[in-house]
């Protein structure tokens, strides 16, 4: 691509706002990744509401969220009435972040973060070589 075309592309790109990324929000001190996930919780279930109510999906249920990240969505589900929710992820820093949000949202009694890899449970099924 010529220098002229590159410059045109750069100028056109300036007309559009950059998308908001949750990691940038955290970096800029706006909100944590867990808080962002919590806010997006309703979006993750909206397609199921045609078939089921929030109460039917969550009230008094035990829920497992595998690959929960900072567990913001898991905590959103906890706020929907689950009896207990377990969030599983492999990133150590997400445990601290998720527990802080659980305390803030007063959901700590319904939430547990588990940090581990499933390869430790099923090593025979996780061989790639």
pTM of the model: 0.77
- Can you read off the two tokens belonging to residue 116? 């581990």
d(CA 102, CA 72) in angstroms, rounded, equals: 9
Q: Nearest-CA neighbor of 85 among 114, 99, 101, 64?
A: 64
Q: Which residues pair with 115 in a beta bridge?
A: 89
65, 77 Cβ separation under 8 angstroms: yes
The full set of domains in the chain, from first to last, is 38-115 (3.40.50.150)
- The pLDDT tens digits for 54-107 are 999 999 999 999 999 999 999 999 999 999 999 999 999 999 999 999 999 999
Tens of pLDDT, residue by residue over 8-30, are 888 888 888 777 788 888 888 89
Q: Tokens 């919780």 map to which residue? A: 41
Q: For position 106, what pLDDT does the model report?
A: 97
């Amino acid at each position: 691509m010529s220098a002229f075309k590159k410059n045109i592309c750069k100028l056109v790109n300036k007309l559009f706002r950059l998308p908001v990324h949750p990691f940038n929000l955290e970096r800029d001190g706006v909100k944590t990744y867990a808080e962002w996930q919590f806010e997006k919780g309703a979006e993750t279930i909206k397609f199921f509401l045609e078939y089921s109510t929030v109460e039917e999906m969550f009230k008094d249920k035990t829920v497992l969220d595998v690959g929960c990240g900072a567990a913001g969505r898991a905590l959103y589900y906890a706020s929907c009435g689950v009896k207990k929710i377990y969030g599983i992820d492999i990133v150590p820093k997400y445990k601290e972040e998720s527990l802080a949000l659980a305390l803030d949202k007063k959901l700590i009694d319904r939430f547990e973060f588990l940090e581990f890899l499933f390869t430790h449970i099923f090593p025979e099924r996780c061989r790639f070589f």
